[in-house]
Amino acid sequence: MLIALSTLALLIWLYLLLFRAGFWQMNQYLLPHRRSDGFCSIAAIIPARNEADVISRAITSLLAQDFSGSLHLFVVDDHSSDSTAQIAHETAQRAGAAERLTVIQSPPLPQGWVGKVWAMNEGWLAARPLNPDYVLFTDADIEHAPDNLARLVGKAESQELDLVSALVRLRCETLAEKLLVPAFVYFFFLLYPPGQTSDPRSRIAGAAGGCMLLRPGALEKAGGFESIRAEIIDDCSLAAQLKQSGGKLWLGISNETRSLRGYGSFGELRVMIARTAFKQLRHSVWLLAVCLLGMLLVFVLPVALLGSRSLTVQIEAAIALGFMLRTYLPAVQLYRLNIANVLTLPLAAVFYMYATVCSAVSYWRGKGGQWKGRAQDTRTPDSV
């Protein structure tokens, strides 16, 4: 029995190494330094809900872009209870760019829509009359590198892409962040390998919602935001719609553009993971069971089997563990952590399993998808 398990774990790792599009090779997916020097117009849409502590830095970074084109910002205030809208106005005024910012008060959330998607839709409706060449969707906690827009446009134009999406650098300072943030990037690329996202023959389509540059025509062709109105995993759902309608996608990493949001504790990171985990499994108990079993088999069992009395089991487990740690190394190096941190991946996997179970429990209790006071992923009366 143990030999069968160790062999299965090893075969899975061989599959991941050979047939998952090199998802772990982070350096291959960095946003190139190729810039666009041609003139184009961009509408940047920033959905914001209670972001008073970070939105000024986000807006300042966009207004200061080294970019040979026009840029207009649309901040959609999603029913904030703090001074998000006021700070947005004041930031643009201090930068001498008040005319380049429009603040929109989001209308009441309609039934069947997720808050962020509704805000993105309202921002796009306001921006569409400008007929921009590109639309940038970015979060209110993202501080953009000075050349980020030029590089995004350069990537889009050089390969005639409809969506260029970059996973920004997440904060990695606290103990919880050092254990779980590199693992988040690793698991995200495992689910949505950039190589397969870019491959038109593959159904896989991933995107990072904190930084997405789109061609408006492709957005309209994909059905706009109406097609994803109920999706809390809005970025990947939008990427899927774009790809299904013939759009060309690129997903990668921007090491210079970064998130300002920090997670000081394991509890905060658990909430972040649990917000979408069970939705990712389509609210299926069976998929939840398969996910947990798969995580145990792939990330935990190789460690446990090292203590087997069978030499064959030990060897197979050691090889599988070696593959695991080798593929995790680029994520650890991306965040400039000690290489010994690769040994923490099994622990991170256990935590992600725990957070996924918490996600399912929250959904069953009618409190799924919690985000700033909203439960965005709840059971309907006919849910099974």
Over residues 296-311, the pLDDT tens digits come to: 999 999 999 999 999 9
Residue type, 5: L
Interval 132-146: pLDDT, tens: 999 999 999 999 999
Distance CA 61, CA 44 (A): 12
For the chain, the straight-line distance linking the first and the last C-alpha, in angstroms and rounded, comes to: 35
Q: What is the pLDDT of residue 380?
A: 54
pTM of the model: 0.94
Angle formed at CA 261 by CA 360 and CA 104, multiple of 5 degrees: 90
Work out the mean pLDDT of the chain and round it to a whole number. 94
Digitized pLDDT (tens) for each residue of the chain, 384 residues in all: 899 999 999 999 999 999 999 999 999 999 998 877 778 999 999 999 999 999 999 999 999 999 889 999 999 999 999 999 999 999 999 999 999 999 999 999 999 999 999 999 999 999 999 999 999 999 999 999 999 999 999 999 999 999 999 999 999 999 999 999 999 999 999 999 999 999 999 999 999 999 999 999 999 999 999 999 999 999 999 999 999 999 999 999 999 999 999 999 999 999 999 999 999 999 999 999 999 999 999 999 999 999 999 999 999 999 999 999 999 999 999 999 999 999 999 999 999 999 999 999 999 988 888 777 777 887 654 443
pLDDT more than 70, % of the chain: 98
Domains assigned to the chain? 2-22+268-360 (no CATH), 27-262 (3.90.550.10)
